[in-house]
């Protein structure tokens, strides 16, 4: 993936993610409607179910509840806040630090034992989400 394509995708994803989060916090009724295709089709939570609520809790300073809701929420919240700023820094300074970090992270994740460990963590999170009844 090229640097410009990565920066555009991440920036747009963060923008829409933050816009959706803003909508959920300010205008959404507290309902149990979900945009999760897996849950809508099967009735069971997916590994990322509860991530939006976890990000909300994290941004409100409720870190323990965020971690309990879905640990992915903390990762997503941090990336949604840091990534756009980091990308803007790279664009302004004409550097590629975010792109370098992305490539290095991708290389590390492709290591077999790390990939297997991450897959196992995702599976445990999925089981935990189903157990919690998300």
* Distance from C-alpha of 60 to C-alpha of 44, rounded to nearest angstrom: 27
| pLDDT: which is higher, 98 or 28 | 98
pTM, whole model, 2 decimals? 0.77
- Please name the residue ranges forming H helices in 27-96: 37-42, 51-59, 63-69, 72-93
- With bands split at pLDDT 50, 70 and 90, how would you rate the model's confidence at 34? low
Please name which of 20, 5, 123 lies closest in space to residue 76, comparing C-alpha atoms. Answer: 20
Q: Which long-range contacts (CB under 8 A, 24 or more apart) does 57-60 make?
A: 59/21
* Distance from C-alpha of 131 to C-alpha of 89, rounded to nearest angstrom: 42
| pLDDT: which is higher, 53 or 93 | 93
- With bands split at pLDDT 50, 70 and 90, how would you rate the model's confidence at 37? confident
pLDDT at position 100, please? 95
Burial of residue 110 (number of CB atoms within 10 Å: 0-12, 13-18, 19+): exposed
């Amino acid at each position: 993936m090229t640097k410009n394509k990565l920066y555009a995708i991440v920036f747009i994803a963060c923008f829409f993610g933050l816009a959706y989060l803003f909508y959920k916090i300010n205008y959404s009724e507290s309902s149990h409607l979900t945009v999760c295709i897996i849950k809508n089709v099967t009735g069971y939570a997916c590994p990322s179910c509860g991530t939006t609520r976890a990000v909300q809790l994290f941004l409100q300073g409720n870190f323990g509840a965020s971690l309990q809701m879905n640990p992915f929420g903390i990762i997503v919240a941090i990336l949604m806040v840091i990534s756009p700023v980091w990308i803007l820094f790279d664009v302004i300074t004409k550097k590629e630090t975010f792109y370098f970090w992305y490539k290095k992270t991708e290389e590390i994740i492709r290591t077999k034992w790390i990939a297997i460990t991450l897959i196992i963590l995702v599976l445990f999170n999925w089981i935990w989400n189903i157990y919690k009844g998300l």
